[in-house]
Structures are given as structure tokens and as C-alpha cells.
């Protein structure tokens, strides 16, 4: 019962973090502090009244939070995701030092059973990373529906972005350009691919519009929406709770043939 309560407790915080991340690409530290403070009762209950003896429960808590903190800190420094995502994962590692299992309507969850390494937050992160594959596939499908022959010039762009008219850029938020445009002394445009996306600023718009009017570039440019990773983390959390570890399950399927 305690596991179901913890899961239900976390969901509003995770859903709200998705909302703020989508809206402003920022998650307030206050959200995670509130989640940890109000969820501390669960931590204390499990330390003193949980299934494990207090010392074993404390070891599990320190192991979970310590390993996750070290891992997400390294990934954060490498630019894999933002600080808000990292803090959310750390809070989850404290609230779930062991993998949550529960029964509901005669069914035991997670559906495929526990993975060999029972660190729940690592499963959430692994699921989130695997689910991000859906994004480039969805982007490619969108581009196929809006296909134009000039897309063949940069076919790999079809997996990471889409083309949009320059005139509409001022009406859109949280987009990044996939190309950098520089005018040479001969009046030609030098294009340079920006791997991670170049943050678009509104003061760049007149420059792009001028290039388009001169016929130096097309009236559409490649952009990437840069969807927030918190969406993947929340989806990874739900999959971990209900289904299990996607990576372990896929490996198992592969081994079994």
C-alpha cells in the first residue's frame, strides 16, 4: 500500500514539472524541494517501519541516492540534460531507494517483474533514454507528410527538426536553428550545421529575412523544437512502475531469440 501511495504522491509533481518545462523550459528548484520535504514522511516510515530493518533500509537509501547523484551529476556536466531533470531524478532516488512492487486488481506490478539491478531511478532514466527514440521517429514521420524534394539535401535533418517559414519564427517559442548562416565578402551565404541547435534570438530575424529577400537562402529554415527531457523522465517513471525495465526486457527478448 505504501508503494501505491508514494507513486500517487509523485505523479502531480512530475506532471507539473512537465508543464513548466514545456511552457518555459525551466523547472523551479522550489518544486523539487517541496516534493522532497512533503515526501520525507515516506522516507522516515520506511526507515523505521518498512519491510527492511532500519540499518538495511538506511544502506539502501544511501546506495540509491549516492549512485544516482554521482551518475546524474556526470551526465549533467556532459550536457546530457538540464539541472532540473537531474534534481528530479535525485529526489526520486531518495523516495524510492528500492524498486516499488505492488498488487492491484489481482495483478502484480511491475508487469514483467523486477530487473536484476533493483535501482528504480536507473530504470526510470534508462526507460526515458529509450523512449526518446520515439521523438526522431515521429519527426521523420512528420517530415514525410510534409515532404519536399529539397529535404534530400540534408536527409538527416528530417530526424531532428523540420522546416518552417522565416516569417513565422517570431510567433514561435523554444526553437533552435539547425544551421548557422554567414555572409561572405563575395555576397554568398556560408552554411554551417549546428549539431545541438543554435538558440534563435528575435534580433536574428531581420538578418534572415534580408538573406531570403536577396535570394541567398530559402524562405524556410530548418529548426529543432528541443523537447524537454522531463517528458521522457515522467513517461519512463510510469513505464517503470507499471511495466518494468524496458532495456532489460528487450535484452531478454533478444537472448531468448
pLDDT digits (tens, 9 = 90+) for 66-101: 999 998 888 888 877 788 899 999 999 999 999 999
The answer to whether 87 and 29 are in contact (CB under 8 A) is yes
CA neighbor of 166 nearest in space, from 214, 218, 216: 218
Q: Could you count the other beta carbons within 10 Å of the beta carbon of residue 7?
A: 18
Q: What is the DSSP letter of 203?
A: G
Query: Three-class SS of residue 232?
Result: helix
| DSSP code string of 77-143 | HTTSS-HHHHHHHHHHHHH-SS---EEETTEEESTT---SS--HHHHHHHHHHHHTTHHHHHHHHHH
State residue 183's pLDDT score: 73
Instruction: Tell me the HSE value of 12 on the side-chain side, using a 13 A CA sphere.
Output: 9
The answer to whether 161 and 140 are in contact (CB under 8 A) is no
110 cis-preceded (ω within 30 degrees of 0): yes
Q: What mean pLDDT is reported for the chain?
A: 85
Whole-number Å distance between alpha carbons of 245 and 223? 33
Confidence of residue 198 (pLDDT cuts 50, 70, 90): low
State residue 199's pLDDT score: 63
Q: Does the pLDDT at position 178 exceed 90?
A: no
Query: Three-class SS of residue 216?
Result: coil
Whole-number Å distance between alpha carbons of 217 and 150? 12
Q: Which residues pair with 198 in a beta bridge?
A: 177
**Domains detected in the chain:** 2-133+228-256 (1.20.120), 134-224 (no CATH)
Residues 114-123: b if buried by 16+ CB within 10 A, e if exposed = bbeeebbbbb
Whole-number Å distance between alpha carbons of 180 and 178? 7
State residue 80's pLDDT score: 76
pLDDT digits (tens, 9 = 90+) for 15-38: 999 999 988 888 999 999 999 999
26 burial (CB, 10 Å; 0-12 / 13-18 / 19+) is exposed
State residue 197's pLDDT score: 59
Amino acid at each position: 500500500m505504501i508503494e501505491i501511495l508514494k507513486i500517487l504522491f509523485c505523479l502531480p509533481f512530475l506532471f507539473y514539472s512537465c508543464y513548466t518545462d514545456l511552457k518555459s523550459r525551466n523547472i523551479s528548484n522550489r518544486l523539487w524541494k517541496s516534493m522532497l520535504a512533503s515526501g520525507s514522511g515516506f522516507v522516515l516510515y520506511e526507515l523505521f517501519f518498512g519491510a527492511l530493518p532500519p540499518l538495511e533500509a538506511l544502506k539502501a537509501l544511501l546506495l540509491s541516492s549516492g549512485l544516482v547523484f554521482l551518475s546524474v551529476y556526470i551526465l549533467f556536466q556532459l550536457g546530457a540534460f538540464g539541472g532540473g531533470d537531474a534534481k528530479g531524478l535525485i529526489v526520486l532516488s531518495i523516495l524510492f531507494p528500492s524498486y516499488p512492487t505492488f498488487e492491484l486488481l489481482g495483478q502484480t506490478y511491475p508487469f514483467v517483474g523486477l530487473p536484476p539491478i533493483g535501482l528504480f531511478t536507473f530504470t526510470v532514466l534508462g526507460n526515458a533514454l529509450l523512449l526518446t527514440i520515439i521523438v526522431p521517429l515521429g519527426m521523420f514521420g512528420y517530415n514525410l507528410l510534409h515532404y519536399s524534394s529539397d529535404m534530400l539535401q540534408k536527409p538527416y535533418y528530417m530526424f531532428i527538426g523540420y522546416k518552417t517559414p522565416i516569417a513565422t519564427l517570431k510567433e514561435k517559442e523554444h526553437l533552435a536553428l539547425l544551421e548557422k548562416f554567414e555572409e561572405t565578402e563575395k555576397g554568398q551565404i556560408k552554411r554551417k550545421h549546428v549539431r545541438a541547435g543554435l538558440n534563435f534570438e528575435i534580433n536574428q530575424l531581420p538578418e534572415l529575412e534580408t538573406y531570403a529577400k536577396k535570394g541567398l537562402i530559402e524562405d524556410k529554415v530548418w529548426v529543432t523544437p528541443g523537447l524537454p527531457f522531463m517528458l521522457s523522465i515522467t513517461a519512463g517513471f510510469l513505464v517503470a512502475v507499471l511495466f518494468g525495465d524496458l532495456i532489460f526486457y528487450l535484452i531478454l527478448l533478444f537472448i531468448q531469440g
